[in-house]
Structure 1
Amino acid sequence: MKIIQKEHASGGKGYITVKQLLDAKQLNEKCGLYAEVTITPGNSLGYHEHHGESETYYILQGEGVYDDNGITRTVTAGDVTFTSHGMGHGIENKGTKDLVFMALIIFD
């Protein structure tokens, strides 16, 4: 398992921690990412677009504001988001506890 801290991920605030659970070989080169992502309070993963792939988030804990192509909504534990090819998203931890979610990128 590889753990990476990314500062200003996709132009976001502060840093995020990405715990890569499986590597490309284990994912049969069909997925770009399967990871647990943690965003501490006040930090964010900036808005970014996906091309040739889709990304799903499954929120495990905490509270955040999710930007789905310019439309924002609050996400909490149990929520699922989906961003398809050609679309964009971002997420910010607006809560007082860590925002933790699973991220899965699947190639088209």
Structure 2
Amino acid sequence: MLIRDITSTPLFTAGDRTRLREILHPKNEPECCNRCSIAHAFLGPGEASLPHRLKTSSETYYILAGEGMMHIGDESAPVGAGQVVYIPPGAVQSVENTGEDDLVILAIVDPAWDAADEEVLN
């Protein structure tokens, strides 16, 4: 049985400025047959991720709490708790917290996130 607790998973700041905890990743859990990785991410009020893209992986955000503005390519839309956002491979993306509380996201990357696949744009 494989169980992860976000409170015991190290917190770090990703290249796009999102703070996250990598909950599951095939490189860390070889017994896990998933090809995807799962991270618990958040941005504080007024914070935004830097525009970035994953060259070959798709990403799915499940918004757990808060509200924000999602930007994918030339499109922007408000997002909030209970919504799912699909980000196709190669799409330039960013998200900003427009609320008064943390914007909390479960990020699922398929195939699993790899630093070499991510390009942060300034």
**CA distance in structure 1 between the aligned counterparts of 2:33 and 2:43, rounded to whole angstroms:** 28
Q: After TM superposition, give the deviation of residue 47 of structure 1 in Å.
A: 1.4
Corresponding residue of 1:20: 22
TM-score (norm 1): 0.82
Task: Kindly report structure 1 stretches of 4+ aligned residues shifted beyond 6 Å.
Answer: none
The question of 1:4 aligning with 2:6 is answered: no
Larger strand percent: 1
Taking structure 2 as the reference length, the TM-score comes to 0.73
Shift of 1:16: 2.9
Q: Identical aligned pairs, as a percentage?
A: 28
Larger Rg: 2
Deviation string 1:31-56 (CA, Å, 9 cap, x unpaired) is 2x301101100111111112111000
- Provide the aligned length of Structure 1 versus Structure 2: 102
CA RMSD, 1 decimal:
2.0
* 2:35 corresponding residue in structure 1: 30
The aligned counterpart of 1:106 is 110
Any unmatched runs of 5+ in structure 2? 1-7, 113-122
Provide Cα deviations, 1:64-98, integer angstroms capped at 9, x if missing partner: 01001121110000111111122221101111000
